[in-house]
Structure 1
Amino acid sequence: MKRLLSLATGIDRLNKGFGILAAVVVAVACAISAGNALSRYLFDLSSNAFLEIQWQLFAATFLLGAAYVLKLNEHVRVDLIYGALGQRKKLWVDVFGYLVFFFPVMFIMLEMAWPWAWASFRAGEGSANAGGLPVWPAKFLLPIGFTLLTLQGIAEFIRRIAALRGDIALDLSYEKPVQ
């Protein structure tokens, strides 16, 4: 179990790096958006590339940052029952959720996304708009993002199993103290 927990820690580090990258991408997207607005209103200049890079960076923000959000236990959830459960029951619900929902969905997404992105890359797919950008890099964000999310799911699953075995303590509360 120690090796698996070390693997989980390595996955955490990897996804923290991508989480930081996603935060930087947000800043870049904001700068491009502001620059595009300024150039449009001040100089009457615009480009499809400016618009396309914004949605591509928006996709990068979510797809590269999702795994880190899962690591932080900050993902959106609607729970009517989970919050009232004890720690051990929460662990079992999580294990069940990962096995029955999370991993099968990730498998399907990866099985669909990798060939789709690869075909786009091989074709050198570009935008249909004049002055647009290549599309294949944005399409590759999907399988990369789901790969990172799957890896983080594996790390979280390992931690749940270790906590059920009593090897580690795991705080599953997601309520933040009011400051």
Structure 2
Amino acid sequence: MKGLLRISSVIDAVNTQIGKKIAWLILVAVLVAAINAIIRKVFNVSSNAWLELQWMLFGAVFLMCAAWTLKVKEHIRIDIVSSMFPKAVQRWVDLLGHMLFLMPFCLLMIYHSWPFFTRSYAVNEQSLSAGGLPQWPAKGLVIIGFVMLAIQGISEIIKQIAIMRGHLEDDETLRGHAAAAEAEAHRLLEQAKQQGVAP
């Protein structure tokens, strides 16, 4: 189990670093959008390449930050339902969710995206809009994003099994901002009760 946890920690570290760096593309996309809008309004000049660059930058962030988002537990979850279950049930829900839904979905997307990308690359597919950008790099990002997400899914499965076997502590602060805030609120309430400040 220790060897698997080391692999998991490497996956986490790599996807975190990639995610943090790729997230800066949001700023680049905002700057591109602002510059494009200014040029269009002031000089009455527009370019499809600038518009498509914005879409590609947002697509890159969405796809290549998905693994990091999964790692920090910030994907949309139905916490209002799962929080009613005991911890052991919540862990099983997470584990089975990753194994039965996340992993098959990622593999299906990779399988179908590969010919989608290779055909586009083989013909050097270009935008249908005049002056647009090549399309194959954006299609390649779909494969990269889902490969990263699948690898992170493996890491999450390893960690979930380790938690269930008692080899890894279940750190509530790693269950997303909402869970971390709730845990902190409970901690402060308990502290206040001990000090006699809260009823």
1:127-161, CA deviations, whole angstroms, 9 ceiling, x for partnerless residues?
Answer: 11111100100011101000000011000000000
Further displaced range: 156-165 or 74-83: 74-83
In structure 1, what is the equivalent of residue 132 of structure 2?
132
Any conservation in 2 of the 1:66–1:145 contact (CA below 8 Å)? yes
Distance 2:48 2:20 in 1: 28
- Is residue 151 from structure 1 mapped to residue 151 from structure 2 by the alignment? yes
Name the amino acid aligned to 1:147. V
**1:72: how far off?**
0.3
How many residues are matched?
179
Q: Percent identity?
A: 41
**1:89: how far off?**
1.7
Any conservation in 2 of the 1:22–1:62 contact (CA below 8 Å)? no
**1:115: how far off?**
1.8
Greater RCO, 1 or 2 (C-alpha within 8 Å, sep 6+): 1
Name the amino acid aligned to 1:137. P
**1:79: how far off?**
3.8
Further displaced range: 102-111 or 144-153: 102-111
Structure 1 gaps of 5+ residues are none
In structure 1, what is the equivalent of residue 181 of structure 2?
177
TM-score by length of 2: 0.85
Name the amino acid aligned to 1:106. C
In structure 2, what is the equivalent of residue 14 of structure 1?
14
1:34-66, CA deviations, whole angstroms, 9 ceiling, x for partnerless residues?
Answer: 000010011111100000001111101100111
**1:176: how far off?**
3.5
Q: Which has the larger radius of gyration?
A: 2
Distance 1:169 1:46 in 2: 55
- 3-state SS in 2 of match to 1:81: helix
Stretches (4+) displaced over 6 A: none
Name the amino acid aligned to 1:71. K
TM-score by length of 1: 0.94
Structure 2 gaps of 5+ residues are 186-199
Distance 2:141 2:29 in 1: 16
Name the amino acid aligned to 1:41. K
For residues 161-176 of structure 1, the aligned pairs below 5 Å read: 161-172=161-172, 173-174=175-176, 175-176=179-180
Distance 1:35 1:81 in 2: 44
CA RMSD of aligned residues (A): 1.5
